[in-house]
Amino acid sequence: MRRLSALCVPVSLVCALAAARAERITFEKETEPFPGVRLYERHTADPNWRIRAAYVSLCTDGVHIDARSSQATRITSAAWGSAMGAQLAVNGDFYRTDRSAPTVYGDAVGVGLRWPTGRTGLASEFSDDWYYRRYGWIAFGDGWVEVQHTKYVVDRADQLGVELGLSPRALTTEIPPGTHALVSGFPELVVEGQVMTEFPDRGDMADRHPRTAMGLTADRRTFILAVVDGRQTSSVGMNGRELARLMGELGAHVAFNLDGGGSTQMWLEGQGTINSPSDGSPRPVANHWGVFAGTGHGRGQEPGSCFTPGGCYPAAIPEAIGSRFADLPDDDGRAAAVADAVDRGLVAPCKAASEGGRDLFCPACSMTRRDALVLVVRAAGLDTSSPPAAPSFSDVPADDPAYAEIEAALAAGIATGCEEGALCPDRAVSGGELVTMVARARGVTEEDLLARCGVDEPAGQVERAGAVRLVLGALGDGACDPDGEGDGEDTDGDGEPDMLEGGGCRAAGQGGGAAALLALIALAVLYRRRNARCTK
Tell which of 260, 293, 326 closes a domain: 293
Gap between the Cα atoms of 471 and 479, Å rounded: 10
Are 178 and 245 within one domain?
Answer: yes
Distance CA 54, CA 38 (A): 6
Q: Is the pLDDT of residue 317 over 50?
A: yes
Q: For residue 138, what pLDDT is reported?
A: 98
pLDDT band at 21, cuts 50/70/90?
low
Task: State mean pLDDT over 150-179.
Answer: 95
Whether the pTM exceeds 0.95: the reply is no
CA separation (Å) from 511 to 209, 246, 486, 506, 518?
62, 49, 21, 8, 12
Considering the domain architecture, whether residues 229 and 359 belong to the same structural domain is answered as no
For residues 93 and 221, membership in a common domain is answered with yes
Percent of the chain residues topping a pLDDT of 90: 74
Q: How many angstroms separate the CA atoms of 198 and 305, rounded?
A: 32
User: Is 326 in the same domain as 361?
Assistant: yes
Q: Return the H-helix or E-strand segment holding 256.
A: strand 254-257
Exposed e or buried b for every residue in 364-378, given b needs 16+ CB within 10 A?
bbbbbbbbbbbbbbb
| 525: helix, strand or coil | coil
Cα–Cα distance between 507 and 241 in angstroms, integer?
50
Q: Are 259 and 347 part of one and the same domain?
A: no
Model pLDDT, residue 519:
33
**Least confident piece of the model among 26-40, 437-451, 488-502:** 488-502
Is pLDDT larger for residue 477 or for residue 263? 263
pLDDT digits 0-9 by tens, 233-271: 999 999 999 999 999 999 999 999 999 999 999 999 999
- What mean pLDDT comes out for the span 187-192? 98
Q: Which domain holds residue 71?
A: 24-293
pLDDT of residue 296: 56
Q: Per mean pLDDT, which range of 253-267, 382-396, 408-422 is the poorest? A: 408-422
Residue 407 resides in a domain: no
Number of structural domains the chain divides into: 2
Question: What is the rounded average pLDDT of the residues 220-231?
Answer: 98
Residue finishing a domain among 243, 258, 293: 293
Q: What pLDDT is attached to residue 201?
A: 86
Indicate the SS3 state at residue 370: helix
Judge whether 345 lies within some domain: yes
List pLDDT tens digits, range 521-531. Answer: 333 333 333 33
> Residue 177's pLDDT is what?
95
Q: Other C-beta atoms within 10 Å of 161: how many?
A: 13
Is it the case that residue 499 has pLDDT exceeding 70?
A: no
CA distances from 40 to 10, 119, 228, 503 (A): 12, 34, 12, 52
What percentage of the chain carries pLDDT values higher than 70?
82
Cα–Cα distance, 14 to 42 (Å, whole number): 10
pLDDT for 423 = 97
Q: Is the pLDDT of residue 360 over 70?
A: yes
Among 107, 92, 173, 181, smallest CA distance to 142 is for: 181
Q: 11 in a domain, yes or no?
A: no
- Looking at the fold, whether 284 and 355 belong to one and the same domain comes out as no
Structure confidence at residue 353 (pLDDT): 83
Residue 97 within a domain: yes
Calpha distance 38→30 (Å, rounded): 7
Please give the average per-residue pLDDT across 404-420, as a whole number: 94
144-148, strands of its sheet edge to edge: 113-114, 108-110, 181-185, 136-141, 144-148
H or E element in which residue 132 lies: none
Gyration radius of the chain's alpha carbons: 27
> Does some domain include residue 312?
no
What is the rounded average pLDDT of the residues 189-217?
Answer: 96
* Domain shared by 339 and 210, yes or no: no
Is there a domain that residue 206 lies in? Answer: yes
Amino acid at 148: Q
Cα distance between residue 264 and residue 283, in whole Å: 8
Q: What is the pLDDT of residues 286-315, one digit of tens each?
A: 999 999 998 655 555 678 999 999 999 999
Spatial separation of the C-alpha atoms in residues 104 and 299, rounded to whole Å: 27
Residue 106 placed within a domain: yes
> In terms of domains, do 162 and 231 share one?
yes
Q: Quick one: 337 and 266 in the same domain?
A: no
Higher pLDDT, residue 514 or 24: 24
Same domain, 234 and 353: no
Domain membership of residue 306 (yes or no) is no
In this structure, the answer to whether residues 229 and 339 fall within a common structural domain is: no
Question: What rounded mean pLDDT belongs to the chain?
Answer: 86
In this structure, the answer to whether residues 322 and 284 fall within a common structural domain is no
Tens digits of per-residue pLDDT, 98-127?
999 999 999 999 999 999 999 999 999 999
Last residue of a domain, one of 293, 328, 358: 293
